[in-house]
Structure 1
Amino acid sequence: MAQTRLRVAILASAIGLAGFAEAQEDDRRALARTYVDMPANQAMMDQMMGADVLAAQFTAGLPPQVELSPGALERIGALMSEAMTSLRPKMQEMMVEGAAETFTAAELRALIEFYSTPEGEGVLLKMPPYFSRTMSELMPEIMQAMSARQTEIIAIIEEGRQ
């Protein structure tokens, strides 16, 4: 009889812990959604999906000898922005899931708290141009480095297929 009560108590504890873990996961998911849906985050995504930013990123990936007219860049940026805008709902859901899986509830609260301040909002809004400028300046060197190692990369790929 005592063993049965012990088993019941252990089972009840396990069920309670599972419920607690599920509640914590729900809390993290709700916090992650709050974080992703913050106006500053939404404004940052608007910037990142803007035609000008996408055209600049596209240009950064072109070989140095390829030059495009401003009109061509504008059209490419518009096409890329349209494509990215259609992916935004999926991207946001992935960001919520990723944030909930990656950050603790305390970390999500800290992110929300910081990015709710004028300084935090400023940081978020400055990130896209900061990264875009850095990558556009560095991309020619990245392309050159990858090109210089192309033979080695192809050899590794061929070896990996066997």
Structure 2
Amino acid sequence: MHWAIGIALFIGTVAGMELFAYAAHRWLMHGPGWFLHASHHRPRTGAFEWNDLYAAIFAVPSFVLILGGVQLGWWPGWAWIGAGIAAYGAIYFGFHDVIVHKRLPHRYLPRSAYMKRIMQAHRLHHAVGTKDGTVSFGFLWAPRPEVLKAELRRRGNAGARQPGDPRDAPLTEDSGA
């Protein structure tokens, strides 16, 4: 396979993963997969949360495609696609876990309009502590904050957190996740 085709597959996969991530976040994580994702909408009490299992789950196709395309004699394009999935996972980890949620200590302060928009959109997503009523499900692209705030107001701020909200309490063994 020509390297240019591989690079195109890689870049196309990274871009396509944002669409996949949006759909998985909106309809899986805030749907039947809420039992794992709920931990992400609560204060973390240690280094890990149940939601982290999604990273392992979504890494499996990447690993299998890379292995198949490189070692098992499958079509070589599968390796480039698997690498694109892995690259999106690394980008997601950097943006979401490190920069937005500060799971690794850093002093980074967003200065670009893009980074400020992504961070504000994610904060607006977390303004709702339930699986329903949330806004902004993308990770690398987000609507303007004004649009998200208007949508929250249109919904009557259903599920929005208030000071002292019991949903802000850390999850425990008996709290459902």
TM range (shorter): under 0.3
TM-score if structure 2 supplies the norm length? Answer: 0.26
TM-score if structure 1 supplies the norm length? Answer: 0.27
Q: Higher helix fraction: Structure 1 or Structure 2?
A: 1
